[in-house]
Amino acid sequence: MFQTFLRSRAQTYLRGIVGEREFRARSPERDAETDRERLDAVMGAIDQALSGAEAEQAGLTKRVDDVLARAAVTFGNGDDEYLTRESLDSHHLDLFETEIKNGQRRIRELTGSIAHFRALKETFDARFPDYKPAPKVES
């Protein structure tokens, strides 16, 4: 009881010092701007992740194709090539095989990630159909 009394007296005292402030909400325009900035941040992160994964996939695909071409040249095209192959060539083929497997594994992972990022983007567009990105300011 005594604490309630003190709390009430303290609030009355502070109102006298600080002054009574009335409640004020922000303008609808400012609320809309704040919401759009939040959505810009989310969509920007999705776009950045998607473009980064696509760029990595394109570069890696090119490098794997290059390794496949080098492996084909090293492998040869004769029926009995494996009988007369130099040990150094066999070693290089083993290295190429490891590189190719690792590259193809990563390409499969990136393909899945890209599909997920695109699904996120579609979900975003479905949930926020009125969203329009902020105009880009050129400097």
Whether 101 maps to a domain, the answer reads yes
Boundaries of domain holding 120:
27-127
Whether 7 maps to a domain, the answer reads no
DSSP-assigned letters across all residues of 12-33 = HHHHHHH------PPPHHHHHH
Whether 47 maps to a domain, the answer reads yes
Whether 76 maps to a domain, the answer reads yes
Residue 126's pLDDT is what?
A: 96
Whether 34 maps to a domain, the answer reads yes
Whether 6 maps to a domain, the answer reads no
Whether 110 maps to a domain, the answer reads yes
Whether 87 maps to a domain, the answer reads yes
Output the six-digit token pair for 23.
Answer: 């409640």
Counting the structural domains of the chain, the total is 1
Q: How does pLDDT run across 29-64, given as a tens digit for each residue?
A: 999 999 999 999 999 999 999 999 999 999 999 999
DSSP-assigned letters across all residues of 54-115 = HHHHHHHHHHHHHHHHHHHHHH-S-TTHHHH--HHHHHHHHHHHHHHHHHHHHHHHHHHHHH
Distance separating alpha carbons of residues 101 and 64, to the nearest angstrom: 9
Low-confidence ranges of the chain (pLDDT < 70): 1-21, 74-86, 88-90, 92, 139
